[in-house]
Chain A
Amino acid sequence: MSSTGRTIVNVGLASCGIAAGAQKVYEAFKTALDGFEVQLTFSGCMGMCYKEPLVEIRNPDGTRHIYGKVQPAQVAQIVEEHIQKGNPVLDWIVYGDGIKTPDSDYIERQQRIILKNCGVINPEEIDSYLEVEGYQALKKALQSMTPEQVIDEISRSGLRGRGGAGFPTGTKWSFARKSPGKEKYVICNADEGDPGAFMDRSVLESNPHGVLEGMLLAGYAMGAENGYIYIRAEYPLAIKRLKIAIDQATEKGYIGNNILGSGFNFNIMIREGAGAFVCGEETALIASVEGKRGMPRIRPPFPAQSGVWGKPSSINNVETFANVPWIILNGADSFNRFGTESSKGTKVFALAGGIARGGLIEVPMGITINEIVHDIGGGLASGGKLKAVQTGGPSGGCIPAAMGDTPVDYESLKKIGAIMGSGGLLIMDESVCMVDVAKFFLNFTKEESCGKCTFCRVGTYQLLNILERITRGEGRPGDIELLEEMGEKIRAGALCGLGQTVPNPVLTTIKYFRSEYEAHINDKICPAKKCKELITYLVKADVCKGCGRCSKECPTGAISGEKKQAFVIDQEKCARCGLCVSVCKFKSIQVITGKGEGVTSNG
């Protein structure tokens, strides 16, 4: 955005910002700026989710400042000091031109290609996108490139599928182009079912035209005239902004018939997913687009030969499409300057869990886990030690802290049993129980298994049963080996990508955290003190002030005592919900693991 000579106030209004209260901040600015010669606008996600709500002020000289954790009560002062008097309120600024803040590294160590426009443009105004070279790549391709040249450029760029599997995008398009038949489809996979991943949501909410332009270029390249966006219904704001973007692009002639007078026709339709993780798998997604239950099928035929309605189709992830306009505009060579030999470009990650600075980051491929966690993410939120990083969602793997120097690229991650996945990076500190984490993912995949093949349906159920037993303190010798054996068989025998990767969290946690499984099974203890059946809550009598808060909040009435005297927990009644720990202001509730160790009871 160039200098306009006047002040612009930009509030980040993506779902994450709104959840943190950004809409109220926007309204407060609206009131406070009434009568001022200031443009109030909004954008999508600026990336620093941990500092939401975020407000950027673009000064008349073109410099910018971003305020973090802005509350409506601060708005009047920001307007008075910064806008009226020209004195930015430095204490509240998290990032700004010419200012070094503790958060500067978060932004400065990133490399933005896909997120270039996120948090910058107004996602509901096509003109805002056009100002930042929007639809120029489409224009360039239609006016000066053949479809083959577009495919060639994408192939030379080295772009690989950002949905996780990493298949070369140019090759995929070329298959679809070569498939016989006139009717072909471009499909944007915006299902993003991985819990812990929100890159696609952010990109769609922040830069919807970038994704549409990528789809249009794909359509031109492979000779398709229709595109579907398959998007989760859980993302209502992304759906709303996509609809607006499609309408505006159609009105301006970038979507529809005879686009920019080139003779190229392309229409885009939205299909809302209805909540099924398996629909992220391409053959299941196709079934769902056709209005059926989202069951995967055996390949071949591949979608490039027989996809939606039996026609050649190419399915790419949101982030893959978002890369395309940049590559066409700047050239393959500029793109593959970033990244490693086999993984070119950048990758967007959703940094979440126990990290100090959680949010959306874009980094060059090949960066190490440690650099992401410590340099960009600012280390652990608890101030404690890193235990593991989970990549790739429920079908990914847990990487132990000791392997923090692993470079993040498709091959390196695969080598250590993890996967790139769509880009969720869950940071875990020492308080996380790895057996519980494995159980959590298995519980998810058991629920989400479509049930078509036995390996996944029954295998997942059995793995979960064993894990549940172990966390209940009923683990048996041989359980670990049984989990490993079954995991390998499910991996080999399941029909689709979901089933084949279901065992990953179990296998990697066993591989890298075996002693934790052994502690649960052999010693009946949960070292992280998370597994309910293996822990006991106790009131530290010398710390307890006898305020009675825990007793009042305890849902099972397990805590009793006299005011101003130490309270006691009845172990028979205690449901181990941990509510007492969260309400106690004096940290007088302790958790111990191992049955019978110093347990007192008044029951």
Chain B
Amino acid sequence: MGETIKDSDKAALDEIVQKYNHDKGAAIMILQQVQASFGYVSEDMLDYISKLTKVPASDLYGIATFYAQFRLEPVGDNFIQVCHGTACHLAGAEQLSEAIQNEIGIKSEGTSEDGKFTLEHVACLGCCSHGPVITFNGETYAKMTPEKVKKLVRQAGKSCQCGNAEGSVKEGCEANV
């Protein structure tokens, strides 16, 4: 239990828990902070946090699965959220999701096999006048179309993992794509 966590990660978790030591009912905040640092909250981490906080692991697991924000698996290199709020639904959010799924080869939400993309449906991003809206690696894109979203995905898919976010492949990196 918890043994698969690296020492450096344990130190980071210790620090987060320590920070909320004096806060009553801090479990959600701790998990949020962990996710902000690691990108997800694994079951091993939940066990380890449980030992530190004395909050039963079942309670932590209950929280992590109850709230939509928490992920138990890491996300892909590119993280796409498609807003499925009412305004976005009426404006064609479903078509956007389908276009992305087709493009990255998944059936619903989740991460593509190559680990390059994670697609998530969210309830409402609050940009209802500009629907349909997506966020792509944290940046919000308004009035999206299936075509635009495909272009965005293709561009990101082509970019290598050498820190070049512009989509153009740097020389020598193509083999890694």
- Give residues in A with beta carbon < 8 Å to B: 15-16, 18-20, 49-50, 52, 192-198, 201, 233-235, 271-277, 288-294, 309, 350-354, 358-359, 390, 393-394, 424, 426, 428, 432, 440-441, 444, 448, 450, 553, 555, 575, 577-579, 582-583
Contact = CB atoms under 8 A, between A and B. Distances in A.
Which of B27, B90, B123, B133 has most A Cβ within 10 Å? B90
A426 B90 contact: yes
Given A275-B67, A426-B87, A291 B25 contact: yes
Interface string B66-77: 111110000000
B157 interface: no
13 contacts: A20-B142, A195-B86, A234-B124, A273-B67, A275-B122, A291-B29, A291-B63, A292-B59, A293-B63, A353-B86, A441-B86, A448-B123, A579-B95
Contacts of B127: 15-16, 19, 198
Contacts of A15: 125-127, 140
Nearest to A350: B128
A292 B62 CA distance: 9
B70 A274 contact: yes
Nearest to B35: A274
A428 B90 contact: yes
Given A195-B123, A440-B86, A577-B99, A52 B25 contact: no
B174 interface: no
Contacts of B150: 553
A478 B37 CA distance: 53
A198 B126 contact: yes
Ranked 4 nearest A-B pairs via Cβ: A291-B25, A275-B68, A195-B85, A274-B67
A336 B131 CA distance: 35
B126 A235 contact: yes
Given A276-B68, A291-B28, A292-B63, A19 B95 contact: no
Given A198-B124, A294-B67, 11 more contacts: A16-B127, A19-B130, A20-B130, A49-B130, A195-B123, A196-B87, A197-B126, A274-B69, A292-B59, A579-B99, A583-B147
A23 B123 CA distance: 25
A174 B130 CA distance: 41
Contacts of A583: 146-147
Contact of B86 (A18, A358, A390, A577): A390
Contacts of A294: 66-67
Contact of B87 (A309, A353, A441, A444): A353
Interface string B116-151: 000000111111111101000000111001110010
Interface residues of B, number: 47
B155 interface: no
A432 B32 contact: no
Interface in B3-53: 24-29, 31-32
Given A20-B142, A353-B87, A582-B146, A577 B98 contact: yes
B85 A50 contact: no
B24 A309 contact: yes
A274 to B, nearest CB: 3
B31 to A, nearest CB: 8
B28 to A, nearest CB: 5
A214 to B, nearest CB: 21
B129 A16 contact: yes
A582 B145 CA distance: 8
Given A195-B85, A272-B32, A291 B26 contact: yes
A234 B25 CA distance: 21
Contact of B124 (A195, A233, A440): A195
B129 A50 contact: yes
A467 B171 CA distance: 53
Nearest to A393: B86
A555 B98 contact: yes
Contacts of A359: 129
B28 A288 contact: yes
Given A195-B124, A582-B95, A292 B129 contact: no
Contacts of B32: 233, 272, 274
Contacts of A358: 87, 128-129
Contacts of A197: 124, 126, 128
Contact of B69 (A49, A275, A575): A275
